[in-house]
Chains A and B, each alone.
Chain A
């Protein structure tokens, strides 16, 4: 369906000839599900449906102890210092953002009274400001009221480089945050900001109290006692924290939502490994919930048989993909390999990349290695579904790959490996050390051999591969091999930052200390233009179309070969209800509503 068709449908809804629900369902059929549909309706001037009533506890307390396992445990409890999801989740027990992202990527108001829209005056027409109305009956755990001052303070705190907050990226596009009254704040952005929910929402948007942290802004941020003893607004309040071991909390009797939370005590135990964590939830039932089950599906299935828990699969935007280096990784230019001044001997040739694309057996990878933990896909950008392109497809076809290479003039040499103009079709394929990835490498290598491409496999320890250490030649950012594979996470239900990694301006090089995100070093003016348009496009329909276009450009040009669209996997006790795990926010975003049956 094109843009006009969508507009027509929107008009139908406006006129009352089509119900909201029917509209959303049509969109679902088109692969443009709920989140976009809702956002479309909102921007078209149609009242937002009430957020779906979330099932939750019917009375506060009485639920006993809730025990969860994080096999990597939180090491600090200040959300602005969180290094990974473990710290974000640990902080989320106590701190809350203005809005959270549900499994569909919709915003759910938490500390906000409502989600800002154009109708309620929350979103300005020029997209440069957003006004949040805050909930009025919210108290910090120490009894002080939560007000607009706290929100303003969080911006000042995080945006100050001296604080060394890891959330600074979410706040640096803000010019100022104005307190309009005690419970209203206006955020003003430098430029129109289509994804205005980047600040103050979800994992990087948790609000810390001004009166506790005021004295520890900037250079003294590390000394704040509250970094390890949080005072938040969340459903549970602080009891005890041992970094790297356990976080304990108890019911917050003054929580701002009625009849919540259900549990009297909360415990997050850390450490160990993913398999035994899965065992403790699914098999023995010692724990109620376990995070991030990086365990082979076969093992999980075996545990589930007759067990006390099951696996929960939430859609996210994480994509395991193979990248094709556009530059020459074997030539040293001014102390740098894969320099932008070079071009790859054969990977810049479309025929070779197309052939490679046909040689990745995504179905086998999915079935034999990942099972339920992911889906095979043709797209780099898969979720939320409004951004999922329907214009692409993938196939595994060795014959066709052979044909393409034959036509392109690559002749098989005596050893079966193709040669053209004295260049051998041989590639070094690197990835991090991780059993599924090594199996994946083997599958690709085998298929490539049948097409006359020689693959040399290289595996790098994960802590090196994903390091920011500029001195190390084996990091994925340096990309000193022909092809490489890893997972890029998306983190937010908006692809703006995610799609940055194909911009010419973001090319990783010695000059920018390999901090650029464009690791493939692909240059495409059209892509750059479309991306620039998406940065200021406020119409969600047009914007989604722009992202689909970007995805298609990447896929058509085989800059990367998507292998597997990975989901977020948790282990949940059969008795635990309302976890509503989302791929766009912390696992604990809905913690206030968790209950246990029986």
Chain B
């Protein structure tokens, strides 16, 4: 097992190197300039921009820049943001708690919605409940989050005026009000993301449970005289959840990237909105760092999913 993990990690290293090379080249070749506003300002002499470019090493060849970046990265130096002249790792760490809270809550909501609905649907396939749930699930994952986000804002903020649509990481309140305000502003982004995740997950839970519920050992359990509740919870769901758990693990990086747009719409100061702002500002070190973190997440969670699968299902062996 540990051998397997070590081997997987060893394979991941060249993969990450390749990813970083592609990312860096694409970013370097993409047009754009972190000093766009300086360029159009008649009161700033062009030499200023030229000097800044030279100082930040923007005029060097791509290969030189990549080697320099990689060398620094290997020593744990993430570089500094062109826009805020601040170290990139600090910038990302500042944004991380918000992203984790919103994404974690969304994922939890998704699971809490998907599990019971998916299971109930599978217990009575093609019943009215199943039909309704299926339809809603299809609508849920067909609608992109940026659309539902805007819809929610229009409905709950503009028409009904119930919820704020601008997220604040720091709230100037204490005690219960602090929790309440945090919850109030997080409801919409969490709901948008969570329901989107939940919709896809519902379908998956349904089919996983359907696969299991027809097996002989379930009939055996029923024949033993176990109640329907115990049969479903202890015998069906437990086995059906094995592929679901790995799916959830595999989905984690996808949620990070999917949250980018939602964060932008609700002004959630997470990593996603940092990424968008950095792309717009052509702040290459930050974009590079975030995309690289995302690719690390993909590799890591793939591994986690594999390991988890084996741990949950002893029939799987690693070689």
Give A contacts to B, CB under 8 Å.
Answer: 65, 69, 72-73, 75-76, 78, 81, 83-85, 161, 164, 166, 168-170, 172, 198, 204, 222, 227-228, 240, 242-246, 248, 265, 267, 269-273, 276, 279-280, 283-284, 286-287, 461-464, 466-469, 472, 474, 477, 486, 488-492, 497-498, 500-501, 513, 515-517
Contact = CB atoms under 8 A, between A and B. Distances in A.
B43 interface: yes
A246 B168 contact: yes
A109 to B, nearest CB: 21
A414 to B, nearest CB: 39
B40 interface: yes
A61 to B, nearest CB: 15
Given A246-B170, A287-B166, A500-B42, A271 B80 contact: no
B145 interface: no
Contacts of B42: 488-491, 497-498, 500-501, 517
B151 to A, nearest CB: 13
Contact of A466 (B39, B265, B267, B277): B39
A83 B50 contact: no
Given A169-B44, A490-B42, A513-B50, A469 B170 contact: no
Contacts of B120: none
A461 B40 CA distance: 15
Nearest to B282: A463
Nearest to B32: A463
Contacts of B211: none
Given A168-B48, A271-B273, A286-B164, A244 B84 contact: yes
Nearest to A84: B37
A85 B267 contact: no
B83 to A, nearest CB: 4
A223 to B, nearest CB: 9
Interface of B: 31-53, 55, 80-81, 83-86, 91, 94-95, 153, 157-158, 161, 164-166, 168-170, 172, 264-265, 267, 269, 273-274, 277-278, 280-282
Given A244-B274, A468-B39, A515 B51 contact: no
Given A284-B158, A469-B32, A491-B41, A515 B47 contact: yes
A468 B164 contact: no
Contacts of B157: 284
B267 A272 contact: yes
For the complex of A and B, 8 pairs with smallest distance between CB atoms: A84-B37, A515-B46, A245-B269, A75-B84, A467-B33, A243-B84, A75-B83, A463-B32
Contacts of B85: 76, 78, 81, 222, 227
Given A243-B86, A467-B33, A271 B269 contact: yes
A467 B91 CA distance: 25
A284 B161 contact: yes
29 contacts: A65-B172, A69-B166, A75-B81, A76-B85, A166-B52, A169-B43, A169-B45, A169-B48, A172-B45, A222-B85, A227-B85, A243-B91, A243-B94, A244-B83, A271-B264, A272-B264, A276-B165, A279-B158, A466-B33, A468-B36, A468-B38, A468-B39, A468-B49, A486-B40, A497-B43, A501-B42, A513-B50, A517-B42, A517-B46
A468 B44 CA distance: 13
Given A169-B48, A489-B41, A464 B166 contact: no
A83 B166 contact: no
A469 B94 contact: no
B267 A269 contact: yes
A271 B267 contact: yes
A463 B84 contact: no
A242 B94 contact: yes
Contacts of B83: 75-76, 83, 243-244
Nearest to B31: A464
B188 to A, nearest CB: 13
A467 B36 contact: yes
A107 B189 CA distance: 46
A76 B264 contact: no
Contact of A269 (B33, B40, B158, B168): B168
A265 B164 contact: no
Contacts of A283: 158
A73 B170 contact: no
B33 A469 contact: yes
B47 A466 contact: no
Nearest to B283: A75
A276 B269 CA distance: 16
Contact of B277 (A78, A81, A271): A271
Contact of A469 (B31, B153, B161, B267): B31
Nearest to B80: A222
Contacts of B47: 515
A272 B83 CA distance: 17
Contact of A467 (B39, B50, B153, B273): B39
Contacts of A222: 80, 85
Nearest to B279: A463
Given A84-B38, A169-B48, A204-B43, 12 more contacts: A243-B83, A243-B84, A243-B86, A269-B166, A272-B166, A276-B165, A279-B158, A286-B165, A287-B166, A469-B32, A488-B40, A501-B42
A204 B44 CA distance: 10
- Point out which of A284, A463, A490, A501 has the most chain B C-beta atoms below 10 A from its C-beta: A463
- Point out which of A166, A204, A491, A515 has the most chain B C-beta atoms below 10 A from its C-beta: A166
Contact of B51 (A78, A164, A486): A164
A513 B51 CA distance: 13
A170 B43 contact: yes
A383 B168 CA distance: 39
A472 B43 CA distance: 23
Contacts of B31: 461, 463-464, 467, 469, 472, 474
Contacts of A73: 277
A228 B86 contact: yes
A164 B48 CA distance: 8
A448 B32 CA distance: 32
Contacts of A227: 85-86
B316 to A, nearest CB: 44
A83 B37 contact: yes
Contacts of A65: 172
A461 B279 CA distance: 13
